[in-house]
Amino acid sequence: MSECTFAIIKPDAVKRKLAGKILQRIEAEGFTIRGMRLVHLSKKDAEGFYAVHRARPFFASLTEFMASGPAVVLVLEAPDAIKKWRTLMGATDPAKADAGTLRKEFAESIERNATHGSDAPETAAVEIAYFFRGVDLN
């Protein structure tokens, strides 16, 4: 069944001019891009987005990083999109990511890990709504 997931090409990847390469992989793997914007998050925006991680020791650093430059936010559609996108990204920590995954290829560290993806349908719905109005989805 076709579903939508939410994805981010994070500031580390945009800064290193990897957005095009990552978008190319997204399309080559069969995802349809339903929404796409370049956003520069404020610290508050990043804190709101990552609120579930508020108690983690890396929260301050993570939200600073996410507010450090522009990022590309995306809504991707495919059969089983949530799992498919997480597989394409690879493990959170690039040192543990499989060969051929985006994080293995492009991530600098567990924090500056190039991409984000929703982990469940409920999270995808909340994350999509955080960045996109219905009229901006195609």
Nearer to ligand CMP, 40 or 53 (CB): 53
Q: Which of 33, 36, 110, 126 binds ligand CMP (CB under 6 A)?
A: 110
Q: Is 63 in the site for ligand CMP (CB under 6 A)?
A: no
Dihedral angle over CA of 138, 107, 54, 136, nearest 10: -10
Active site residue 40: no
The secondary element (H helix, E strand) that includes residue 106 is helix 102-106
Which is the catalytic residue, given 116, 117, 118, 128?
116
Nearer to ligand CMP, 24 or 109 (CB): 109
Nearer to ligand CMP, 121 or 138 (CB): 121
Q: Is 116 in the site for ligand CMP (CB under 6 A)?
A: yes
- Listed in sequence order, the residues at least 6 apart from 34 whose beta carbon sits closer than 8 Å to its beta carbon are 4, 75, 76, 77, 137, 138
The amino acid at 87: T
Tokens of 82: 């949530």
Q: Is 107 in the site for ligand CMP (CB under 6 A)?
A: no
- DSSP letter at 25 equals H
Tokens of 4: 């939508």
Interacting residues toward ligand CMP by CB under 6 A? 53, 58, 62, 92, 110-111, 113, 116
